[in-house]
Structure formats: C-alpha cells, structure tokens
Amino acid sequence: RICPMPTRLNQDLHRILGLLRDGPKTAHKLQFALGRKASRESCLLMTLHRQGHIFSRCCVTGPKGNPINRRELRTPSDRREEDAPALNTTSPELP
C-alpha cells in the first residue's frame, strides 16, 4: 500500500495512478505529464510495479522500431489471471 503521508514521493505515486486511470500510457507520456526527469519517473514506475499497482501487458513500437512498454493499472481480474496455474508445455507427451 501507498502510505497516506503527504510526502513528495507519495504525491507523485498518486499522480501516476491518477493518470493511468484514463488508460495505459508509456513512461514518456507519464514523464511529460508529471514534468519529472526520466530517472525519477523510472524509479516511481518501478516502485508501483513492485507494489503490484501497475503492470505492462503490451508494448508499442517506438519511432526507431524499438518496443516500448505501456503501463496500466492492475485490476482484480489481472491478479486472478496471474494466480491461475500455467499450462505445463515442457512435459513429455504421453504415448
């Protein structure tokens, strides 16, 4: 959980979560909206990711052809999908 204390860190974390309520965004768009440096934005996104508030489901192609993650809010249905057992594709086939 994000601490309710009004620190600059928590204010920035809440602002990012507010921006992501409108839909997925790239780190660049979030950085531009917050007016923060890229290193600060990266730290904030990693914090929210580690806390389980956001994730990256898909990528978009950047101007140079490189993949760019789109961050979005994690919903309860996303958590259920992650908790579901994965199919075991490495087991040997039965005769």
Beta bridge partners of 72: 55
pLDDT greater than 50 at residue 95: no
Per-residue pLDDT at 56 = 86
User: Once rounded to an integer, what is the mean pLDDT over residues 64-72?
Assistant: 88
For the chain, the average pLDDT equals: 77
Which string of b and e fits 9-22 if b means at least 16 CB within 10 Å? eeebbeebeebbee
Query: What's the rounded Cα separation, in Å, for the pair 42 and 39?
Result: 5
pLDDT greater than 50 at residue 41: yes
